[in-house]
Amino acid sequence: MKAIADGDDSSDAGSPAEPDGTRVSFVEALDSEATFAAYSETVATERYAKLLIDIPTDRIYYFDANAYAVHADFVLAELTQRWSPRSPLLSPLADLYNRWQVRERLKTYNRNYEAEKPEFLLGTVVHHTDQDVYTLALWEGDEARPADVRHLYDRVRETFHRGDALKFRPNSTRQEGLLDADELSGVPSITNDEIYKDAPYHAFSEGTAVGRLRICRNGSPGGLHFAPDEIVVLTDIVPDITPVRGLVTEHFCTPLSHVALRARAWGIPHVGWKECSAAYADLDGTMVVLEARRDGATLRRATREDVAADAGRRSARASLELPPPDRGERALRPLSEIRGDEARAYGAKTANLGEVARRARAYRVPPGFGIPVAYYAEHMERHGLWRRARALVADARVRDDATLRDVALEGLRREILAAPIDDVLVAAIAERLAACGVDRSRLFVRSSTNAEDLAGLNGAGLYDSVPNVRGVGAVADAVKRVWASVWNLRAYDERCHFGIDHEAVHAAVLVLEAVDATAAGVLVTANVFDGGATRAYTINAKHGVGIGVVEGTRVPEQILYDVREGGIKIVSRNGDDTMLVFDEERGGVVEVPDPEPGRPVLADDQVRALARAARVLEGVFPDDGPLDVEWLFRGDELYVVQSRPYVGL
């Protein structure tokens, strides 16, 4: 038995040891809390102990999770004999032999994740400390049969000190299907979905903030008018918020909602924290410090020193420079003719999607075209709207009063909508719709400014997009609505937060054929639950049109796809019993009952199709870091409708 030198970790107290005092690398029972603590690893609010059963001998090994990151490491180091040369002259040959032997050994080892297991049953015991729940789980790609799960559960229950509290926790759709098997009769179970939604705490963005605490209870006045120096506790679900110092949401949604994405972009702490408002009601209206960590958060009254230090940090923040608009381009060009370096004319969303369309192999892109920023600038100039906007920006009362600012911006938007659109542009829209082969009966008119979809500024949810638009006249009206949304309160305050010149923002427009989606959502080419680790993709999905995914009003289906091994882990199931579909009579979207509530949104083959598309997109944008990809399925046909840098990792 190989031993590992004992360190200074006090958690080793009470763990088995060799005569020389070193801690052994595995034990055959976790028969006490001290032994469990010594051989497990803590990540955020969960403690993991890893184990395997040697099938021929039925011997169980709980190995040191702090020494061996994965099961294979332990097997190769402890349970596999490796030949070692006696003569130094044979060392090069021995090295080649050992490498070959390891590769061959891993081939055999990996078969233990298939249904027919040659050597081992592999599992993990987890203590979910927030809920005080103990679970037994397999890797999400494990194809274990019900009898294997039953045997693993029985052996762990016999050898784990909290075996009476142990529940089987399936990690994949396939494993969830095992729960009805006769062999698992009497085995208690719990799903990741139940654990996720029952958790009292989630850290969406870590960090520390100093600000004035504002607890916004249901029905509290003020709406979405927040001050930039506030740390806000939301007791109800909101689809949007203006920049603040820190954010606590008592209702969980997803790390990929618009609110969560914006909090990441602002670099502020954002946590889901149930019952926070009740626990800290006495601090409402006072200056506080919010510290958000993966394993929990603290909220306390701020000292003078805290406030002074925070002021110094914020004064050092630099303003964000935008790509200067190109007003010289006037052509309404199809996506196939727009390149990624043309964001100054067509906005980053349209330019990126043009590049995506050029590389469409593992997916499709709906037909569409871009309306360049020149037409927005001309509309503002022709009708005196720039002058109106400049006066609004210069007004100190508007700058200092969020309620007054909201009213003033609403008035400007009404003027933009009321001003007649250029007949030349309307004719060009009609011509381009015919030339692109776009279905005029169902269109999606989307914002594509030079102040969104950028590295450092995703602009999630700042501007308006109009779904299911019908006919040339309706498209023209929707274009003006997109233009007017440059002056949304949330967009205006976001620019103030980043020090962006309001007049530098110009709106291009993306017109796409609207695809009648059966499922839709977003994918990020990183694990957003685990500090941005890149070995997994994060997928959020809902039935129908995907607007509800990013609005964050309900928990979507959340999936982690293991890039290296192909495992598909279910984090949560879709929490909706309704879905959004296109309104065939009036246009737009309408909420209807889900005909099969509770059903999985994505089949495993669809998840794999999304992963293949994401790999292609990583090649299209190799310098953008993690990507934030918007996608949809119509049946099994995959479409990509947006790709931008994922901000905040």
* φ/ψ of residue 207, rounded to 5: 145, 180
Nearest to 126 by CA among 14, 199, 15, 42: 42
* Alpha carbon of residue 289 to chain centroid: 26
For a pLDDT cut of 90, what percent of the chain falls above it?
69
Cα distance between residue 237 and residue 19, in whole Å: 58
Cα distance between residue 624 and residue 628, in whole Å: 10
Confirm if 26 and 34 have CB atoms less than 8 A apart. Answer: no
For the stretch 264-308, pLDDT in tens is 888 999 999 999 999 999 999 999 999 999 999 999 999 999 999
Domain 198-315 falls under CATH 3.50.30.10? yes
Cα distance between residue 427 and residue 419, in whole Å: 17
> Would the pLDDT of 395 be above 90?
yes
Nearest to 432 by CA among 445, 414, 451, 448: 445
Give residue 87's pLDDT: 45
For a pLDDT cut of 70, what percent of the chain falls above it?
89
> Would the pLDDT of 433 be above 50?
yes
Averaged pLDDT, 183-206:
94
Averaged pLDDT, 153-163:
97
Confirm if 211 and 271 have CB atoms less than 8 A apart. Answer: no
Confirm if 244 and 226 have CB atoms less than 8 A apart. Answer: yes
Domain 519-645 falls under CATH 2.170.150.20? no
Task: For CATH 3.50.30.10, list the domain ranges present in the chain.
Answer: 198-315
For the stretch 592-605, pLDDT in tens is 998 888 889 999 99
pTM, to two decimals: 0.87
Other beta carbons within 10 Å of 104: 10
Cα distance between residue 368 and residue 377, in whole Å: 22
- Average pLDDT of the residues of the chain: 89
Task: For CATH 3.30.470.20, list the domain ranges present in the chain.
Answer: 519-645
Confirm if 509 and 353 have CB atoms less than 8 A apart. Answer: no
Give residue 575's pLDDT: 80
> Would the pLDDT of 61 be above 90?
yes
> Would the pLDDT of 384 be above 50?
yes
- If pLDDT is split at 50, 70 and 90, which confidence band does 521 have? very high
DSSP code, position 588:
S
Averaged pLDDT, 421-428:
97
627-634/519-524 β-pairing:
antiparallel
Buried b (16+ CB within 10 A) or exposed e, 358-372: ebbebbbbbbbbbbb
Confirm if 35 and 15 have CB atoms less than 8 A apart. Answer: yes
> Would the pLDDT of 550 be above 70?
no
Confirm if 545 and 556 have CB atoms less than 8 A apart. Answer: no
Selected residue with higher pLDDT from 188 and 259? 188
* φ/ψ of residue 347, rounded to 5: 80, 155
Domain 333-513 falls under CATH 3.40.50.150? no
Q: Which two tokens stand for residue 648?
A: 């905040």
Give residue 8's pLDDT: 38
Confirm if 73 and 63 have CB atoms less than 8 A apart. Answer: no
568-572/578-582 β-pairing:
unpaired
> Would the pLDDT of 415 be above 80?
yes
Give residue 12's pLDDT: 47
Task: For CATH 3.30.1490.20, list the domain ranges present in the chain.
Answer: 333-513
Averaged pLDDT, 394-403:
94
> Would the pLDDT of 647 be above 60?
yes
> Would the pLDDT of 587 be above 70?
yes
- If pLDDT is split at 50, 70 and 90, which confidence band does 310 have? confident
Cα distance between residue 512 and residue 474, in whole Å: 14
> Would the pLDDT of 455 be above 60?
yes
Selected residue with higher pLDDT from 92 and 153? 153
Give residue 91's pLDDT: 63
Confirm if 53 and 120 have CB atoms less than 8 A apart. Answer: yes
Give residue 636's pLDDT: 95
For the stretch 77-128, pLDDT in tens is 888 753 344 444 456 656 665 666 656 667 788 899 999 999 999 999 999 9
Give residue 100's pLDDT: 60
Q: How far is CA 146 from CA 109, 149, 163, in A?
A: 20, 5, 19
What 3-state DSSP class applies to 31?
coil
- If pLDDT is split at 50, 70 and 90, which confidence band does 633 have? very high
> Would the pLDDT of 11 be above 90?
no
Other beta carbons within 10 Å of 109: 20
Residues sharing a CB contact under 8 Å with residue 419, sequence separation 6 or more, in sequence order: 379, 382, 383, 385, 480
Selected residue with higher pLDDT from 405 and 461? 405
* φ/ψ of residue 58, rounded to 5: 60, 20
Residues sharing a CB contact under 8 Å with residue 439, sequence separation 6 or more, in sequence order: 513
